[in-house]
Structure 1
Amino acid sequence: MAQILTFLGKGGVGRTTIAIAAARRFANRGKRVLLAIQEAGPAPGLILGIVPGAEPQELIPNLKVVQLQATVLLERSWEEVKKLEAQYLRTPFFKEVFGQELGVLPGMDSALVLNAIREYDASGQYDVIVFDGVGDQATLRMLGMPEIASWYFRRFRKVFADSDLGKALSPFIQPISSAVLNVSWTEDIFNQPMAQQANNQLEQGKQAIADPNRVAAYLITTEDAGAIATAKYLWGAAQQVGLTVGGVIVNRATGDGAESEEFEPLPISRIPIQSINDWQPLIDALPDFDQASQAPRPIAVNVAERKVSLFLPGFDKKQVKLTQYGPEITVEAGDQRHNISLPSELSGKPVTGAKFQDSFLIISF
């Protein structure tokens, strides 16, 4: 399993440059590195000095670079879908539809990129994957996709099983499936080989995002007030998907570092304006990315005290909303929702109190 690193910040603050420098640093230390670039345009190639393609290619020793092209990823994913269809269906029907015909629907590219990162991680060929995404809410929603999809899976599974429709259909599921499938399915349509495989992948994704030694993000900003405000907002939003933010990088810094108060207690790295094509000073100024686990964790559960604490920097009390409609609790902050998966000791228990203090939402049961 690889260490996955990404960067968040306003456009124009130098995320791609920092990502390349970080990848070079890991490679110089002997790590096998993949720099995965989401931007489809020519700008990354101008910085890299080569035109990245849809297949990983070597930039320097130990460092490969790939441009994640949605159309190519869609073709590959469609072939995997057809393989699964041929494995489970007696008479496949997707075989007459070709990946080269398919267009990329809005939002589909995020799922394709996330799956590509998962596959590169699972390949065992890399020690570090530096993901240069769009660095905003879209990146956070993409990284939060395993948890969100997992919630949909388990929530609708229970709703369907308890419904009259689910109870009425259950006796017919097995004979119908036997007529069209190569495998024998049970009455629970959510507990089948394909569904289990998908759910296992979602659980693995959730565990990776929750582990700062596996996945971490760093905020990139300049001394511009708008860039600082955006970085603070993304810091809080990252907590909502369970992503650890390990620190802040102030790019093109010239001032006295007064902005550091905005990001306490995160460590701050200040990078002065660098000469063009001189990577070493930039590499030397980068933080120690292995220290991301020392940053405040997005969520902490204390079963003994029956409390859950969520770290939500960048938000005030008026921007945070707590609801409990079903067996789980939902926290809304900014434009993100987080359905908190609770341990069995707290699951389904009513909330008895909540307070917002020092950027922490503390929930009592």
Structure 2
Amino acid sequence: MAGARILLFTGKGGVGKTTLAAATAARLAVGGHKVLVASADPAHSLGDVFGRPLTGEPSEVDTCLYAAHVDARGLVDKAWQDIRRQLRTALAGAGLDDLDAAELTVLPGVDELLALTEVARLAKEGPWEVVVVDCGPTAETLRLLALPEAVAGYVERLYGSGGALAGLAAHLGALRRLLVDPAVTSVRLVLTPERLVVAETRRTLAALALRGIRVDSLVANRLVPRARTRLRGRASIPWRGPAASWLRTRRAEQDAVLSELDASTPLRVHLVEHRPAEPVGIRPLLELAGELYGDADPLDAPFGGDDVRPLLGIRTLDEGGYELTVALPLTDSSELDLARVGDDLAITVDGVRRLVALPVLLRRHAVTDAAVEDGGLVLRFEEQA
């Protein structure tokens, strides 16, 4: 097998992503897949969900199910010896002092790159069919997923495509290709049905789309259960009292938020109700997965989705010129900025910026109009005089 399928679970801190990642992994294992669930979250609460200690080495927690904590600091002397040597050589050539292993770990982004490198290694070299990753909160995850492209760009500008850091550049390029391959890697965004959380989720969707990283589904966790009715004879009578009133009011608020979210994205939103106790251990996790996935495999199309739109779509206009659609999940509140940088288009959405290479056909054309439509950002190009 060339490599494993990778599912990345992320969301705002406290929404339950670790539990849902573990539940998904447990369900996949019961379905016959050999699965590794790995925590790349510095908080490392995955062991608490399984009710057992975990280390950086994958250990079996149930049949076909393995778990591990990705320890970036411990990987410096184990997984990145070659890259560290190249970095030392390059820094020496620039007139800087040599770095030891401890100093390397405090360089910005190195911990995150190490964690991502280890996930990629496990997916490629391990015996698992699926690697489920419990990522950090969304802000950290976005920074993590942007690092391979960003650092590779800096390396190429500073040292060219060859030289002392050629190996590092190749490594980062491989990581980037792994992340943007929709047949291999996808993100599942976990949220709670609150307006602030949903607003962050929308920004995250746009940021991941800019990076070319596929989001296959959304999971709305911790919905307040609906107030039940009770039977009196043959009549169904709603529960009354302050508790029942609070449940109805809170669930109505959550339903309204989810209705707005559902209308703003083509992604399916899966619902999970709040449970009276935290699911700890395999059996409670499988019960939770049953509520989320029903009888389906978590990798099946109803959950993973088959519709993967390219970031850029181009068509010729009858009246002349071209129309370029950038497939971004934008809303009326999205802060959008556009700039032309040579043959690239600099797109910034809610503070996240990416240079998008224009198709060769449009490089001698100028942007004459821009609009936000259902399909994303629509730009009109006309040939420069």
What's the offset of the Cα at 1:268?
1.5
Q: Secondary structure at the match of 2:341?
A: coil
Provide the C-alpha distance between the structure 2 equivalents of 1:290 and 1:326, rounded to a whole number of angstroms.
Answer: 42
What's the offset of the Cα at 1:339?
0.9
1:266 aligns with 2:262: no
Provide the C-alpha distance between the structure 2 equivalents of 1:42 and 1:203, rounded to a whole number of angstroms.
Answer: 28
Contact in 2 for aligned 1:244/1:296 (Cα 8 Å) = yes
What's the offset of the Cα at 1:301?
2.8
Aligned to 1:140: 142
Q: Secondary structure at the match of 1:246?
A: strand
Aligned to 1:353: 369
Q: Secondary structure at the match of 2:52?
A: coil
1:244 aligns with 2:231: no
Deviations 1:96-123 (A, max 9, x none): 9653565433432211111112222221
* Counterpart selection for 1:280 from 268, 275, 286: 286
In structure 2, the gaps of 5 or more residues are: 91-95, 226-250
Contact in 2 for aligned 1:75/1:99 (Cα 8 Å) = yes
Contact in 1 for aligned 2:88/2:99 (Cα 8 Å) = no
Q: Secondary structure at the match of 1:36?
A: strand
Q: Secondary structure at the match of 2:378?
A: strand
What's the offset of the Cα at 1:293?
4.2
Q: Pick closer, same or farther for the CA change 1:312–1:301 going to 2, 3 Å.
A: closer
What's the offset of the Cα at 1:211?
2.7
Provide the C-alpha distance between the structure 1 equivalents of 2:143 and 2:345, rounded to a whole number of angstroms.
Answer: 19
Provide the C-alpha distance between the structure 2 equivalents of 1:87 and 1:113, rounded to a whole number of angstroms.
Answer: 23
Aligned to 1:309: 325
Contact in 2 for aligned 1:312/1:359 (Cα 8 Å) = yes
Q: Secondary structure at the match of 2:367?
A: coil
In structure 1, the gaps of 5 or more residues are: 89-93, 158-188
Relative to the length of structure 1, the TM-score reads 0.78
What's the offset of the Cα at 1:40?
3.6
Aligned to 1:172: none
What's the offset of the Cα at 1:321?
0.7
Q: Pick closer, same or farther for the CA change 1:211–1:348 going to 2, 3 Å.
A: farther
Aligned to 2:22: 20
Q: Secondary structure at the match of 2:361?
A: coil
- Opposite residue 310 of structure 1, the aligned amino acid is V
Q: Pick closer, same or farther for the CA change 1:123–1:339 going to 2, 3 Å.
A: same
Aligned to 1:332: 348
Q: Pick closer, same or farther for the CA change 1:148–1:316 going to 2, 3 Å.
A: farther
Aligned to 1:175: none
- Opposite residue 361 of structure 2, the aligned amino acid is E
RMSD value, Cα: 3.3
Q: Pick closer, same or farther for the CA change 1:42–1:235 going to 2, 3 Å.
A: closer
Spell out the pairing of 1:22-61 with structure 2 (5 A cutoff). 22-41=24-43, 43-61=45-63
Structure ranking higher in strand proportion: 2
Provide the C-alpha distance between the structure 1 equivalents of 2:75 and 2:366, rounded to a whole number of angstroms.
Answer: 44
Deviations 1:69-114 (A, max 9, x none): 22102222442236668999xxxxx9x9653565433432211111
- Opposite residue 8 of structure 1, the aligned amino acid is T
1:80 aligns with 2:82: yes
Percent of residue pairs bearing the same amino acid type: 26
Aligned to 1:91: none
Q: Pick closer, same or farther for the CA change 1:318–1:9 going to 2, 3 Å.
A: closer
Q: Pick closer, same or farther for the CA change 1:36–1:346 going to 2, 3 Å.
A: farther
Contact in 2 for aligned 1:315/1:333 (Cα 8 Å) = no
Contact in 1 for aligned 2:109/2:147 (Cα 8 Å) = no
Provide the C-alpha distance between the structure 2 equivalents of 1:150 and 1:87, rounded to a whole number of angstroms.
Answer: 17
What's the offset of the Cα at 1:53?
0.7
1:123 aligns with 2:139: no
Aligned to 2:198: 228
- Opposite residue 283 of structure 1, the aligned amino acid is A
Q: Pick closer, same or farther for the CA change 1:85–1:115 going to 2, 3 Å.
A: same
Provide the C-alpha distance between the structure 1 equivalents of 2:172 and 2:83, rounded to a whole number of angstroms.
Answer: 17
- Opposite residue 144 of structure 2, the aligned amino acid is M
Provide the C-alpha distance between the structure 2 equivalents of 1:345 and 1:204, rounded to a whole number of angstroms.
Answer: 28
What's the offset of the Cα at 1:21?
0.7
Provide the C-alpha distance between the structure 2 equivalents of 1:128 and 1:273, rounded to a whole number of angstroms.
Answer: 27
Contact in 2 for aligned 1:68/1:113 (Cα 8 Å) = yes
Contact in 2 for aligned 1:296/1:311 (Cα 8 Å) = no
Aligned to 1:297: 309
Provide the C-alpha distance between the structure 2 equivalents of 1:201 and 1:344, rounded to a whole number of angstroms.
Answer: 27
What's the offset of the Cα at 1:153?
5.2
Aligned length: 331
Contact in 1 for aligned 2:60/2:67 (Cα 8 Å) = yes
Contact in 1 for aligned 2:209/2:328 (Cα 8 Å) = yes
Contact in 1 for aligned 2:343/2:357 (Cα 8 Å) = no
Spell out the pairing of 1:126-275 with structure 2 (5 A cutoff). 126-152=128-154, 156=157, 190-192=160-162, 195-253=165-223, 254=225, 255=251, 257-258=255-256, 259-263=258-262, 264-274=265-275, 275=277
Provide the C-alpha distance between the structure 2 equivalents of 1:97 and 1:325, rounded to a whole number of angstroms.
Answer: 36
Aligned to 1:179: none
Q: Pick closer, same or farther for the CA change 1:289–1:234 going to 2, 3 Å.
A: farther
Q: Secondary structure at the match of 2:7?
A: strand
- Opposite residue 260 of structure 1, the aligned amino acid is S
Deviations 1:163-208 (A, max 9, x none): xxxxxxxxxxxxxxxxxxxxxxxxxx63437655444444433333
Deviations 1:35-92 (A, max 9, x none): 111234463322121111121111112222111122102222442236668999xxxx
Q: Pick closer, same or farther for the CA change 1:144–1:103 going to 2, 3 Å.
A: closer
Contact in 2 for aligned 1:266/1:295 (Cα 8 Å) = no
Contact in 2 for aligned 1:332/1:338 (Cα 8 Å) = yes
Q: Secondary structure at the match of 2:137?
A: coil
Answer with 285-294 or 233-242: which moved more. Answer: 285-294
